[in-house]
Structure 1
Amino acid sequence: MSSKLKSSPRASGFSLVEIMVGLAIGMLAVIVILQVFALSEGRKRTTTSGGDAQSNGALMMYQLQHEIGQAGYGIAAVNLMNCSLRWPIASNVNIATAVPLAPVTINPDAAIIPIGDLNTDRLLVIYGNPNGQPQGNVITAQAAPVYTVQMPSSFTPGANGVGDKVIASPAVCGALIIDRVTAVSTNTVTVETGSAGAALYNLGPNPTVLAYAVRGGNLTVCDYMLNDCGLDANKDNVSIWVPIASNIASMKAQYARDTSGTMDAIPDVFDQTQPSTACGWARISAIRLAIVARNSQYEKDVVTTTTVNAGSPVNAPSWAGNDTDPIVANTGYLGPDAVADEPWKHYRYKVFQTVVPIRNVAWMGVPIGC
Structure 2
Amino acid sequence: MRTNATAQNGFSLVELMVSVVIGLLAVMFATRLMVGGEQSKAASVGGSDAMQNGMLALFSINTDASQAGWGLNDDLVNGCNTRMTDAEGFALATAARDGAAITPLAPAVIADGGTGSDTLTLYSGTGMAGAGSTSVWQNYIGGTSIGVASVSPFGFNQGDVIVVAPEPAGGDCTVAQLSAAPAASVLQIASGTAWRYNTGNLGVLYNGGQARVFNLGPANKLSFHTWSVSNGVLQLRATDLAGTAARPQAVVGNVVALKAQYGFDTRAGSAFNPKAGMRVGRWSTAMVDADGDGSTGAPGDWQRIAALRIAVIARGAMPERPAAGQTTCTATTAPMTVFGTAAPAGVSASPVQVALGVPNDAVSWTCYRYRVFETIVPIRNAGWRP
TM-score in same-fold range (> 0.5): yes
**Correspondence for 2:119:** 122
Amino acid in the other structure paired with 2:222? P
**Correspondence for 1:333:** 356
**Correspondence for 1:74:** 71
Report the secondary structure of 1:77's partner residue: coil
Matches within 5 A, 1:181-196: 181-185=178-182, 188=185, 189-192=187-190, 193=200, 195=202
Whole-angstrom distance in 1 between the partners of 2:92 and 2:285: 25
Amino acid in the other structure paired with 1:184? A
Which deviates more from structure 2 when the two are superposed, residues 93-102 or residues 39-48?
A: 93-102
Select 2:222's aligned residue among 207, 211, 214. Answer: 207
Alignment pair present for 1:256 and 2:226:
no
Report the secondary structure of 1:276's partner residue: coil
CA RMSD of aligned residues (A): 3.5
Q: 1:142·1:148 contact (CA, 8 Å) conserved in 2?
A: no
Amino acid in the other structure paired with 1:82? G
Alignment pair present for 1:360 and 2:381:
yes
Alignment pair present for 1:48 and 2:76:
no
Superposed displacement of residue 299, structure 1: 5.3
Whole-angstrom distance in 1 between the partners of 2:89 and 2:320: 47
Report the secondary structure of 1:132's partner residue: coil
Whole-angstrom distance in 1 between the partners of 2:189 and 2:181: 9
Superposed displacement of residue 168, structure 1: 1.9
Q: Measured at CA, do residues 352 and 93 of structure 1 come closer, stay the same or move farther in structure 2, by a change above 3 Å?
A: closer
Select 1:105's aligned residue among 104, 109, 123. Answer: 109
Superposed displacement of residue 224, structure 1: 5.7
**Correspondence for 1:152:** 152
Matches within 5 A, 1:218-367: 218-223=233-238, 240-262=247-269, 263-264=272-273, 265-274=278-287, 276-295=297-316, 296-298=318-320, 300=322, 302-304=330-332, 316-320=336-340, 324-328=350-354, 332-333=355-356, 344-345=365-366, 347-364=368-385
Q: Measured at CA, do residues 228 and 99 of structure 1 come closer, stay the same or move farther in structure 2, by a change above 3 Å?
A: farther
Q: Measured at CA, do residues 217 and 145 of structure 1 come closer, stay the same or move farther in structure 2, by a change above 3 Å?
A: same
Amino acid in the other structure paired with 1:155? G
Whole-angstrom distance in 1 between the partners of 2:153 and 2:105: 25
Residues 252-292 of structure 1 show CA distances to partners (whole Å, capped at 9, x for unaligned) of 22111111112133221111342522222221111111122
Whole-angstrom distance in 2 between the partners of 1:117 and 1:82: 23
**Correspondence for 1:236:** none
Alignment pair present for 1:166 and 2:166:
no
Q: Measured at CA, do residues 256 and 187 of structure 1 come closer, stay the same or move farther in structure 2, by a change above 3 Å?
A: farther
TM-score (norm 2): 0.71
Q: 1:82·1:278 contact (CA, 8 Å) conserved in 2?
A: yes
Superposed displacement of residue 219, structure 1: 2.5
Q: Which runs of 5+ in 1 are unaligned?
A: 109-115, 230-239, 307-314, 336-342
Superposed displacement of residue 349, structure 1: 2.3
Amino acid in the other structure paired with 2:166? P
Whole-angstrom distance in 2 between the partners of 1:350 and 1:146: 52
Q: 1:250·1:327 contact (CA, 8 Å) conserved in 2?
A: no
Select 2:24's aligned residue among 19, 27, 39. Answer: 27
Whole-angstrom distance in 1 between the partners of 2:356 and 2:315: 10
Superposed displacement of residue 162, structure 1: 2.2
Amino acid in the other structure paired with 2:159? G
Superposed displacement of residue 243, structure 1: 3.3
**Correspondence for 1:111:** none
Q: Which runs of 5+ in 2 are unaligned?
A: 95-101, 191-199, 288-295, 323-328, 343-348, 359-363
Superposed displacement of residue 103, structure 1: 0.9
Which deviates more from structure 2 when the two are superposed, residues 121-130 or residues 84-93?
A: 84-93
Whole-angstrom distance in 2 between the partners of 1:77 and 1:299: 55
Amino acid in the other structure paired with 2:353? I
Whole-angstrom distance in 2 between the partners of 1:20 and 1:37: 26
Report the secondary structure of 1:83's partner residue: coil
TM-score (norm 1): 0.74
Q: 1:84·1:99 contact (CA, 8 Å) conserved in 2?
A: yes
